[in-house]
Amino acid sequence: MTISEPEARSAGLDGRAADPVRAQAEAVAALIRPYAERMDEQEAFAPEVLEMLTSKAVWRNVHGEHLGAAGLGRQCRWIEAIATSCTSTAVLVQSQLTVAHTLELSGTAGVEGLLEGMRQGVIWGWGLTEPEAGSDILGMTTTARREGSDFVIGGSKRFISNAGMSDYYLVFARTSAERNSRSLSAFVVPAATPGLTVTRYETKMGLRASRTGDLSLDEVRVPASALVGEPGAGFGLAINTLRWSRPLIGAVSLGVARGAFAELASRVAPDASALRRLGDEEQGRGHQLAELLLQLTAASALLYEVADRADSEGVLPAMWRASAAKAFCSDTAMRIAGAAVELAGLEAAADGSRPGRYFRDAKVLQIFEGTNQIQKNAIVRELLDADVAHLGTARV
């Protein structure tokens, strides 16, 4: 018995072959895989990959044919599969679903039209983070003041995914001087709006094909119809969107973990004799591989318990569950990618190394969308809630 790459990627994760959603996503991921290292080196998406996301119906599958049609579990399965091949492409898909969910939560008139554009490949950026307002959303200083039938937005945004390649940005801004949950609002801002500029791009350790940059908003004027939801709804929209998007980052991380495990297994057990040695005279190494497989399987079980439970109950995941999925899956990706790099040795340090790319991407995923320390803070804050209080006696 030998461990082939597809077998190694899916080892221990039940039900993959029988799942038509996963099978379709894996087929697309296989088409993306040959581009991944080149896109990482060039720090840009290949036009062929962007076109593929539309022509292979990725956007239509992940957004669903109508409002609310695609559940969190379905979206996670697509993102996980793509991330086994290219983390940056998976993050591009995740970022669009983050925006889409904010729009859906808002109940704004015309949301279905905006989502149809996204199904056809219109790209958005989610403009929340600022230089002095990362984890502390209420520290936001970007403002939007009402002038007649318009809003005028001024300020700056930091670490914005898809900067410079987005057709639209969903921009959060302060509409009240008070520091409370009703002081922020969200706006749809076309990228071509006068006064909106990309001021710099990040050179990142990982997710290198995914453009990340800073935005400047200098007296950016948008009509009142650009308001997403009610005035003052921005904080609630952002927080509730994170309850959806953090499991999506967990799915990206799980895909990286699977890809890294495949690299590791193909080196440790390239043939039947090597596999037999892991069970006999090289049991130490065999146990290491088994331990990583246990962690990979546990990460998958946690992610899909959170996602599928949310879908079956028809509610957003509790914040502690969303944070747990993101933190555990990204920590698992880092652990497995680290083992793959150690085994690959100098090869992992070379340009174009797949184990090296997984390692760099995994580290960014531990930081991205709120550091894992922030995720643990969110879990601790909910320890007194009924959902978490009886861990020893109740189903959680």
Question: The CATH number of the domain where 178 resides is what?
Answer: 2.40.110.10
Q: Which residue has the higher pLDDT, 281 or 360?
A: 360
Identify the domain boundary among 233, 265, 286. 233
Residues 220 and 270 placed together within one structural domain of the fold: no
The CATH number covering residue 22 comes to 1.10.540.10
Residue 312 lies in a domain: yes
Residue 395 lies in a domain: no
Residues 227 and 240 placed together within one structural domain of the fold: no
> What residue has token string 């991407």?
361
Q: Are strands 124-127 and 168-174 parallel, antiparallel or unpaired?
A: parallel
Known catalytic residue: 178? no
Residue 396 lies in a domain: no
Residues 240 and 376 placed together within one structural domain of the fold: yes
Q: Is the pLDDT of residue 391 over 60?
A: no
Strands (E), the chain: 124-127, 143-147, 150-161, 168-174, 184-190, 196-201, 212-223, 227-228
Maximum CA extent, the chain: 79
Residues 193 and 338 placed together within one structural domain of the fold: no
Residues 382 and 240 placed together within one structural domain of the fold: yes
Q: Give the pLDDT band of residue 133 (cuts 50, 70, 90).
A: confident
CA distance 261 to 359: 11
28-84 pLDDT, tens per residue? 999 999 999 999 999 999 999 999 999 999 999 999 988 778 899 999 999 999 999
Residues 262 and 145 placed together within one structural domain of the fold: no
Residues 240 and 380 placed together within one structural domain of the fold: yes
Burial of 206 (C-beta count, 10 Å sphere; 0-12/13-18/19+): buried
CA distance 72 to 298: 19
Which of 151, 152, 155 minimizes the C-alpha distance to 139? 155
CA distance 94 to 90: 6
CA distance 229 to 108: 5
74-103 pLDDT, tens per residue? 999 999 999 999 999 999 999 999 999 999
CA distance 87 to 81: 10
Q: Give the pLDDT band of residue 284 (cuts 50, 70, 90).
A: low
Q: What percentage of the chain exceeds 70 in pLDDT?
A: 88
196-208 pLDDT, tens per residue? 999 999 999 999 9
CA distance 85 to 258: 10
Please give the structure tokens belonging to residue 232.
Answer: 């003052």
pLDDT of residue 281: 65
104-to-237, 330, 379 alpha-carbon distances in Å:
10, 27, 26
Q: Is the pLDDT of residue 347 over 50?
A: yes
User: Which candidate in 282, 291, 369, 382 is catalytic?
Assistant: 369
389-to-198, 374, 393, 396 alpha-carbon distances in Å:
45, 20, 9, 9
Residue 320 lies in a domain: yes
Structural domains of the chain, count: 3
pLDDT of residue 348: 73
Identify the domain boundary among 99, 119, 139. 119
Residues 342 and 379 placed together within one structural domain of the fold: yes
CA distance 130 to 110: 28
pLDDT of residue 389: 56
The partner residues of 145 in beta bridges, in order of sequence, read 152
The CATH number covering residue 359 comes to 1.20.140.10
243-274 pLDDT, tens per residue? 999 999 999 999 999 999 999 888 776 666 76
DSSP alpha helix (H) spans, 86-216:
87-106, 111-119
Identify the domain boundary among 79, 95, 119. 119
Residue 281 lies in a domain: yes
**Domain range for 91:** 5-119
Residues 329 and 190 placed together within one structural domain of the fold: no
Residue 142 lies in a domain: yes
Residues 241 and 343 placed together within one structural domain of the fold: yes
Residues 91 and 196 placed together within one structural domain of the fold: no
Residues 73 and 88 placed together within one structural domain of the fold: yes
